Amino acid sequence: MLDSIIPLLSDPAAWAALITLIVMEVVLGIDNLIFISILSNKLPPEHRSRVRRIGIGLALVMRLVLLSTIAWIVTLTAPIFTVMGNEFSWKDVILIAGGLFLMWKATKEIHHSVDPTPSDNDVLDKKAVVINNAGAAIFQIILIDLVFSIDSILTAVGMTEHLPIMVVAVLVAITVMLLAADPLGDFIDKNPTVVMLALGFLLMIGMVLIAEGFGAYVPKGYIYAAMAFSAGVEILNMWSRRAETKRQKATTLRAQADAAEQKARAAEAEAANEPA
């Protein structure tokens, strides 16, 4: 193993492949992390960080296991059946299933967010979330971890043939996910409008996975540019809301100060008019 690593250290092409692959793995990891954050934020605060760590740890295990079976992973791209002239492989089936799961989950969460009259079942669901949904959340995280892990490793296989480069890129991406997990989860929890934006991202990612499963190539640059633009607009909206909140607080304080000053003047005038 060491003999295969040392030549790579002096190979500029290997370093370029490593940097490019790290960026790709981090981007795929952030997609995965958004889903984990949304799921974990439905749990009581004392369980959220633990579930995030478990989810990210499972993502690391899955990626390393898949890396150890690269020869099998590559066979996932071989056609297994044909429908109306379109060939489908196991990779396509997994991507379509994962995309459908993401769209179902995001649509369900959006429905719960915008439904003004929750039913009795919704109330029971919320109670179940508080009591025992940590296991359900971890199960859903495992499912989507599998989808993102296969996509991640197939991306790595397509970009380099060197296993050490793949392992390093995966480890760096998982480290970034671990560092960003709690800050991202807390940020989403404290900004409800960001939750809707993140759910929109999940819908879009789900549609992209389904499209790729059916053989349509979707340039990732367009997708992430749209996500970055939407996030930028939301940041501007957040700044605007905070500025408006500060203006309202300042107006309230000035009104209270004016009222106190008028009351003090009225008291002074009343005291001056009293007979000695």
Lowest mean pLDDT across 16-30, 121-135, 153-167 = 121-135
Mean pLDDT of the 158-163 span: 68
Using alpha carbons only, how large is the chain's radius of gyration in Å?
26
- The Cα-based distances of 56 to 21, 40, 147 in angstroms read 19, 12, 14
d(CA 224, CA 220): 6
The answer to whether 212 and 64 have CB atoms below 8 angstroms apart is no
The answer to whether 210 and 100 have CB atoms below 8 angstroms apart is yes
Q: What percent of the chain has pLDDT over 90?
A: 0
Query: Residues with Cβ < 8 Å from 223, sequence gap 6 or more?
Result: 204, 205, 208
Beta strand residue intervals within the chain, DSSP E: 79-83, 86-89
- Closest C-alpha among 165, 154, 155, 157 to residue 17: 165
Q: For residue 6, what pLDDT is reported?
A: 60
pTM over cut 0.85: no
